[in-house]
Amino acid sequence: MDSIPVNLQELKPEDFKAFLDSFDHVFSDCDGVIWTKGPMPGAGKFFSLMKKLGKTVNFVSNNSLRSKENYEAHFRDAEIENGFDYLTIPSIAIAEYLKSVNFDKKVYSISCIETNNVLKSFGIEYKEGPNVGADYYEEYLKYMIDDPEIGAVVMDCDFKVNLPKMNKAITYLGRPEVHFLCGATDRHVYYARGAKTLAPGVFTDLVAEEANRSPVVLGKPGKAFGEFAMKRAGVTDPSRVLFIGDMIEQDVGLGKAVGFKTLLVLTNISKETMLAHKTIRPDFYDASLGSIVPLLEKQFVKSVI
Ligand SMILES: [Mg+2]
């Protein structure tokens, strides 16, 4: 277990200065940190002050469901300039990974239309479906026929995931040369208080177990995803990165896997929940980005004087 997380509000001025001096780059999650339904108060100001203090700012989200236009609108509403240009999401990581291994076959995609569009925009062909299966097990044989055109199975958020698709994925993964990539590994998504639904991680785990294969995880908290985000940002030393998020498993977990410093904002979970986690603790915490703004402003004024 890591040591007790430090509340930024309780740091003495010189210790807050030492905290700021301990990193050069800020990587931040988006949903629940910068915006929920609308922008979170003070989030845009937080990043502009960080930039004024000489930090580079990048964004890392597990959410491949938003289109580029939707992300751009959210960044704009939060008063963050060109945010999308500095954003890493699983769909882009998956497409760039395939490009990096000179992938020249077709992807079997169990994901959303936005991820498929990103693959297409990188010139990667994909197959998908069927969205409706047969009525009886004996008819499922047709979903267990290999397709030599497929060279990779990609699993991310698919609201129409089903038995035929998982059978197909397992069949293709029977060939060891077929790449197995996944995005978000979340097992549940909470869409209202007390209401949760199964999320992509459940289905990816099932396929992985049945195929006896481990996917390359190109979503938080996969180490490869964090390293990919570093590469895109031109960062070489993970210890000089402060990773900000609102989820312990995904955000703090990613930070721990890669070696980032971690800051948890308690916008979605309580301090008690944070401290109750059995294995993962952030280095720092605060209520929200907005609550850190006055501390940064003070620091900035001081450094000018
Ligand atoms: Mg989040």
Binned at pLDDT 50, 70 and 90, residue 3 comes out as confident
- Bridge partners, 126 (sequence order): 107
* Residue 213 structural domain: 91-217
d(CA 29, ligand 1 centre) in Å:
6
Binned at pLDDT 50, 70 and 90, residue 194 comes out as confident
Domain boundary residue, one of 198, 217, 236: 217
232 and 193 both lie in a single domain: no
81, part of any domain? no
d(CA 118, ligand 1 centre) in Å:
21
d(CA 247, ligand 1 centre) in Å:
6
53, part of any domain? yes
d(CA 290, ligand 1 centre) in Å:
16
d(CA 13, ligand 1 centre) in Å:
29
**Interval 291-300 mean pLDDT:** 92
2 has pLDDT over 80: no
Amino acid at residue number 41: P
d(CA 233, ligand 1 centre) in Å:
20
pLDDT for the residue numbered 37: 86
pLDDT for the residue numbered 60: 97
- The total of other beta-carbon atoms located within 10 Å of residue 132's CB is 9
Exposure on the CB side of residue 102, measured as CA atoms within 13 A: 0
d(CA 50, ligand 1 centre) in Å:
20
Domain count, the chain: 2
% of residues, the chain, pLDDT over 90: 88
Residue with the bigger pLDDT between 193 and 12: it is 12
User: How would you classify the pairing of strands 195-198 and 188-192?
Assistant: antiparallel
67, part of any domain? no
Q: Which of 66-70, 80-84, 164-168, 282-286 has the lowest mean pLDDT?
A: 66-70
d(CA 88, ligand 1 centre) in Å:
14
d(CA 41, ligand 1 centre) in Å:
16
d(CA 234, ligand 1 centre) in Å:
23
Q: Where are the beta strands (DSSP E) in the chain?
A: 6-7, 25-28, 56-60, 87-88, 106-110, 126-127, 150-155, 179-182, 188-192, 195-198, 216-217, 241-245, 261-265, 284-286
d(CA 305, ligand 1 centre) in Å:
36
Rounded Cα–Cα distance for residues 295 and 136 (Å): 63
13, part of any domain? yes
78, part of any domain? no
250 has pLDDT over 80: yes
240 has pLDDT over 60: yes
Domain boundary residue, one of 217, 234, 268: 217
List pLDDT tens digits, range 33-50: 999 989 999 999 999 999
168 and 200 both lie in a single domain: yes
108 and 169 both lie in a single domain: yes
103 and 205 both lie in a single domain: yes
d(CA 59, ligand 1 centre) in Å:
11
DSSP code for 39:
B
Domain boundary residue, one of 217, 234, 260: 217
Q: For 53-192, where are the alpha helices, taking DSSP H only?
A: 68-77, 90-100, 113-121, 163-172
CATH code, domain with 291: 3.40.50.1000
% of residues, the chain, pLDDT over 70: 97
252 has pLDDT over 60: yes
72, part of any domain? no
100 and 163 both lie in a single domain: yes
302 has pLDDT over 60: no
305 has pLDDT over 70: no
List pLDDT tens digits, range 115-153: 999 999 999 999 999 999 989 988 899 999 999 999 999
Q: Which of 154-168, 186-200, 266-280 has the lowest mean pLDDT?
A: 186-200
pLDDT for the residue numbered 299: 82
Q: If we measure between CA atoms, which residue out of 167, 179, 181, 183 comes closest to residue 65?
A: 183
pLDDT for the residue numbered 304: 52
98 and 201 both lie in a single domain: yes
Rounded Cα–Cα distance for residues 294 and 292 (Å): 6
User: How would you classify the pairing of strands 25-28 and 179-182?
Assistant: unpaired
d(CA 32, ligand 1 centre) in Å:
5
98 and 205 both lie in a single domain: yes
Q: Where are the beta strands (DSSP E) in 84-222?
A: 87-88, 106-110, 126-127, 150-155, 179-182, 188-192, 195-198, 216-217
Binned at pLDDT 50, 70 and 90, residue 189 comes out as confident
Exposure on the CB side of residue 101, measured as CA atoms within 13 A: 16
289 and 235 both lie in a single domain: yes
d(CA 137, ligand 1 centre) in Å:
39
d(CA 178, ligand 1 centre) in Å:
31
DSSP code for 10:
G
d(CA 199, ligand 1 centre) in Å:
15
Average per-residue pLDDT for the chain: 94
d(CA 61, ligand 1 centre) in Å:
7
d(CA 246, ligand 1 centre) in Å:
5
**Interval 280-300 mean pLDDT:** 95
297, part of any domain? yes
79, part of any domain? no
185 and 199 both lie in a single domain: yes
111 and 194 both lie in a single domain: yes
29 and 42 both lie in a single domain: yes
| Cα dist from 52 to 20, 49, 79, 292, whole Å | 12, 5, 15, 15
